[in-house]
Structure 1
Amino acid sequence: MTTDPTTPGPHPGSASPPGDTDARSLGRVTIATVVAAASGYAVLLLAARHLGAVGYGVFAVFWAAYGLVTGAQNGQLQETTRAVRTAASEGLARSRPLLVNTAIGLGLAALVVATSPLWSRRVFTEDRGLSVLLLAVGVASFAVYAHLCGALSGRLNWSTFAVLLSVDALIRMAGAGIAVAVGWGTTAFLAVTVIGSASWGVVLTVSASARRAIGVAGDVPPRRLTVNTLTAMAAAAASAVLVMGFPVLINLTTDLRGGPDVDDAATIGALILAVTLTRAPLLVPLNSFQGLLISRFVDRRDRRLAALGAPLGVVAAVGGVGVLGAWLVGPWLLRSVFGADFDLDGVVVAMLTLGATCLALLTVTGAAAIAAGAHRWYATGWWVSTLVAVAMLLLPLDVETRTCVALVVGPLIGLGVHLVGVLRA
């Protein structure tokens, strides 16, 4: 059962959640977001240049599979943020989200291992056993990471939150640098994908505020918190399929169409890289500020459309500039920075950027739906987007065209579903 959207916000006389909401603290989150984006680009650059287009395709599919599962775990962050913020503002202490989130993470890791015979052969073409093991360990660790992110967001402790984001990104970038320096291959980059999730251990060691936040209370009993968290995860899973899992969808739908030849494999590798690169400038900041967005929409439940206007306008403006830049210089940047194997037409790169903008707009409306308590509309919007995108990927078109169509049409339809949910909530 989801949060009741009619629940009033903090009263003037109620205890306020501890936090640091000044411009300096929020600026730290912005800097951490830049660090995370730059580190992500660095890892992709190192992997692409070190592994080549085909090797990069193997690495990127594992990266996407890990992002697909941990993307669903963002539901843990979302519900923890809501539960902790409400508990702090209303003076409630009815559960320990850490226990719930840890149990869910271990259960999810076990599920990954138990079901791997059903899907691993189609998804992972190399190092299959190691890939499954790394995926299971990574999602178990990410459950604690997501909990700590949500706890810090619910307490409005943005300074420590920024540290957590930065450490996560820098650990992964350092691992990629070592892999290249030593001359390790694709297997090392699979491990690099998951090591960042251990950042919560580093931050807990050095930060007293993180240690105070890790065991913070939630506003509802454990059973209700578990149901809320699993509901949020089911909704977040849909967004993860379309956002981080899209390279997996490309591989699966290509396989259903008979499998790629060598030239198509290189094209798919270039497409996967371009999809990832065009999304990062918008989706990385949005993911970093997810807790802040949810808090903003919760605090403005009586002015939902007005609260949506500014974030949607910023995303659309930035996306429009990105589409133009991608058309003009995108192909040259791909070839110059990542190598001659990564060759795509300017129109394709521009359309991929437009698709990234549509996904970013869908992410904003999804946060508004969660804040409004419209979790079913949130899930429906993302799942409709995903199903439409999959249908587009199965069209009898070349891989570039069907990828671009899927990334634009699917999110736009889902966005409409979210807006209806926000208005009806």
Structure 2
Amino acid sequence: MVRALGLVGVCIVLSGLLVNAYLAIVARNVSPAEYSDFGAFWSIALLVGFGAFLPVEQELARLGPRALRSAAVVAGCMAVVEGALAVFVSPAVVLLCFLSAAQFLVRGTLIGSGRLAWHGGLLVADTTLRVVFALLAGWLGATTSAQFEWTLVAAVAVAHLPVLAAIWWQQDGEVPVREFARAVSPLLVGSLCAQLLLNGIPVLVSAVATPAERAHAGVFLAAFLLARVPLFVAVPLQTALLPVLAGKRKRTVVTRLAAVLTVAAGFGVAVAFTIGPWLVRLVFGPLYVVSAADLALLAVGVVAHLGLIVTTQALVADALHSRVAWSWIAGVLTAAATFAVIPDLVLRAEIAFLTGSLAGLLVGLRLLTSPRQESELCSTTSSSP
């Protein structure tokens, strides 16, 4: 298990690098103002995918392939609802709603069946296709956000639909749809709040920016995406962490997490103040100029968010599903309040992300170390495979 998880980690790191290459290719083919629009689309795509369907992946990973048919019914219903709402956004987002359902069904099934190497390989294949399609679009003369949006849609479809077709006929449904939906429901609230905290802020920045601030918003989104590189690794890896965290003593998890986060925060701030601004220009181009202080705030926010992810996965591993939602709700409410009271376009986003992630982390740690309630004991018994 440890060796397979290590292989997945390598694949996820490679996938994260490819994602950043993809975003850099887009940035170098469009203006900063257009990149503001693409950054908003990218964040909405992550909200549509991870926000709605990560709980499906997590339960599939926990219950195994026998739950695939039931998971498909639940994911399909969620995709229909999302697609109806996405009609007001763009055709690419509508299609992504259904493709994301397929994507997370495949990922959950591969993890739940122990095929972690296949899972890691699929991540690399998906992100490689994104890079290839973006290069092709740039070569063909694409210069707008709308044109590059379809490169993401095409990559997800080509990478996942054939795999879903292959595994679909190998599984027999044994888990009732109602039972699967009941297990996913408490995770769904937390997952949506998690993606709102992580990806809602870029959408808000793009939405509230005046025409004169669009280019500035695009520069911020580029810096935010680069600062979030560790999250490109952690977010896909979080479901694979469940077997590792299961059975661990809570005090051990908290102690090790605090030590790792302290070191990571110091390292992130050091990178931000030394090579951070240069790195942003190197990746995205000379038009993307950002200060070291802005990057330092983002780096500390990312570290707090990493801690929040690990804490909530520890709650899931301990079958404390309802507590996951409260952690993320605390983070979203704190971020929303912060964003509302600070006037500066970029500073309000940076502080909101930092305070929201930190509030969610502290609430999550408190809930992780609190005694289990009687209702949670009953819930654990009824939802066990």
TM-score by length of 2: 0.88
Instruction: Give the aligned residue type for 1:35.
Output: L
Instruction: Give the aligned residue type for 2:182.
Output: V
Instruction: Give the aligned residue type for 2:190.
Output: A
How far apart are residue 49 of structure 1 and its match? 0.9
Instruction: Give the aligned residue type for 1:178.
Output: L
Match of 1:47 in 2: 26
Q: Is the 8 A contact 1:76 1:146 kept in 2?
A: yes
How far apart are residue 157 of structure 1 and its match? 1.9
Distance 1:116 1:213 in 2: 30
Structure 1 residue 83 corresponds to structure 2 residue 63:
yes
- 1:60 aligned residue (20, 23, 39): 39
Distance 1:214 1:200 in 2: 16
- 2:192 aligned residue (208, 218, 237): 237
Q: Is the 8 A contact 1:75 1:236 kept in 2?
A: yes
Partner-residue secondary structure (3-state), 2:341: coil
Match of 1:224 in 2: 179
Instruction: Give the aligned residue type for 1:67.
Output: L
Distance 1:239 1:293 in 2: 17
Aligned residues with identical type, % of pairs: 25
Structure 1 residue 200 corresponds to structure 2 residue 149:
no
Please show how residues 66-215 of structure 1 align to structure 2 within 5 Å.
Answer: 66-72=45-51, 73-84=53-64, 96-116=66-86, 120=88, 128=89, 131=90, 133-185=91-143, 186-198=145-157, 199-203=159-163, 211=167, 215=171
CA RMSD across the alignment: 2.3
Q: Is the 8 A contact 2:60 2:109 kept in 1?
A: yes
Match of 2:269 in 1: 323
Distance 2:110 2:172 in 1: 9
Distance 2:234 2:251 in 1: 19
Structure 1 residue 414 corresponds to structure 2 residue 360:
yes
Q: How far does the alpha carbon of each residue in 1:299-335 deviate from its partner, in whole angstroms, 9 at most, with x for none?
A: 32xx122134445543442342122111211112223
- 2:231 aligned residue (283, 297, 300): 283
Instruction: Give the aligned residue type for 1:194.
Output: V
Q: Is the 8 A contact 1:355 1:407 kept in 2?
A: yes
Partner-residue secondary structure (3-state), 1:45: helix
Q: Is the 8 A contact 1:249 1:390 kept in 2?
A: no
Q: Is the 8 A contact 1:151 1:216 kept in 2?
A: no
- Taking a change above 3 Å as real, the CA distance of residues 212 and 102 of structure 1, as seen in their structure-2 partners, is closer
Distance 1:204 1:215 in 2: 11
Structure 1 residue 389 corresponds to structure 2 residue 349:
no
Please show how residues 228-267 of structure 1 align to structure 2 within 5 Å.
Answer: 228-252=183-207, 254=208, 259-262=209-212, 264-267=213-216
Distance 1:391 1:179 in 2: 40
Distance 2:314 2:154 in 1: 31
Q: Is the 8 A contact 2:201 2:353 kept in 1?
A: no
Q: Is the 8 A contact 2:36 2:217 kept in 1?
A: yes
Instruction: Give the aligned residue type for 2:58.
Output: Q
Distance 1:201 1:41 in 2: 24
Match of 2:380 in 1: none
Instruction: Give the aligned residue type for 1:78.
Output: Q
Count residues with an aligned counterpart: 368
How far apart are residue 116 of structure 1 and its match? 4.3
Q: Is the 8 A contact 2:334 2:355 kept in 1?
A: yes
Match of 1:404 in 2: 350
Q: Is the 8 A contact 2:55 2:191 kept in 1?
A: yes
Match of 2:381 in 1: none
How far apart are residue 28 of structure 1 and its match? 2.3
Partner-residue secondary structure (3-state), 2:362: helix
Distance 2:247 2:94 in 1: 36
Q: Is the 8 A contact 2:29 2:142 kept in 1?
A: no
Which range moves more in the overlay, 283-292 or 413-422? Answer: 283-292
How far apart are residue 245 of structure 1 and its match? 2.9
Structure 1, gaps ≥5 residues long: 1-20, 88-95, 121-127
Distance 2:242 2:2 in 1: 18
Distance 1:134 1:63 in 2: 11
- 1:335 aligned residue (278, 281, 284): 281
How far apart are residue 409 of structure 1 and its match? 1.0
Q: Is the 8 A contact 2:226 2:280 kept in 1?
A: no
Q: Is the 8 A contact 2:234 2:306 kept in 1?
A: yes
- Taking a change above 3 Å as real, the CA distance of residues 192 and 216 of structure 1, as seen in their structure-2 partners, is farther
Instruction: Give the aligned residue type for 2:126.
Output: D
How far apart are residue 388 of structure 1 and its match? 1.1
Distance 1:141 1:47 in 2: 21
Distance 2:37 2:355 in 1: 27
- Taking a change above 3 Å as real, the CA distance of residues 311 and 396 of structure 1, as seen in their structure-2 partners, is closer
Distance 1:196 1:406 in 2: 32
How far apart are residue 213 of structure 1 and its match? 9.7
Please show how residues 338-357 of structure 1 align to structure 2 within 5 Å.
Answer: 338-357=284-303
How far apart are residue 378 of structure 1 and its match? 0.8
Match of 1:93 in 2: none
Distance 2:244 2:254 in 1: 10
Distance 1:407 1:358 in 2: 9
Match of 2:219 in 1: 270
Instruction: Give the aligned residue type for 2:220.
Output: L
